[in-house]
Amino acid sequence: MRLVLLGPPGIGKGTQARRLQQEYGWTAIATGDLLREAMANNTPLGEQARAYVQRGELVPDELVNRMVFERLQSLESFILDGYPRNLSQAQVLDAFLRERHQPLHAVLAFELDDEQIVQRLSGRRVCPQCGAIYHIVANPSRAGNRCERCGTTLITREDDHPDTIRRRLTVYREQTEPLITYYEQRSLLQRVDASGDPETVYQRVLHALSIQPDSPPR
Ligand code: AMP
Would residue 146 show up in a list of annotated catalytic residues for this protein? no
- Whose Cα sits closest to atom 6 in ligand 1? 32
Does any ligand 1 atom lie closer than 6 A to the CB of residue 53?
Answer: yes
The domain limits of the chain are 2-113+175-208
Does any ligand 1 atom lie closer than 6 A to the CB of residue 85?
Answer: yes
Q: Report d(CA 161, CA 123) in Å as an integer.
A: 10
Give percent helix, percent strand, percent coil of the chain, each to the nearest 5.
50, 15, 35
- Taking only Cα atoms into account, the Rg of the chain, rounded to an integer number of angstroms, comes to 17
Does any ligand 1 atom lie closer than 6 A to the CB of residue 56?
Answer: yes
Taking only the tens place, the pLDDT of each residue in 128-158 is: 999 899 999 888 999 999 999 999 999 998 8
For residue 84, whether the previous peptide bond is cis, meaning omega lies within 30 degrees of 0, is yes
Taking only the tens place, the pLDDT of each residue in 28-86 is: 999 999 999 999 999 999 999 999 999 999 999 999 999 999 999 999 999 999 999 99
Annotated catalytic residue within 13, 18, 120, 204: 13
Q: What is the distance in A from the centroid of ligand 1 to the CA of 205? A: 22
Q: What is the distance in A from the centroid of ligand 1 to the CA of 85? A: 8
Superfamily of domain 2-113+175-208: P-loop containing nucleotide triphosphate hydrolases (3.40.50.300)
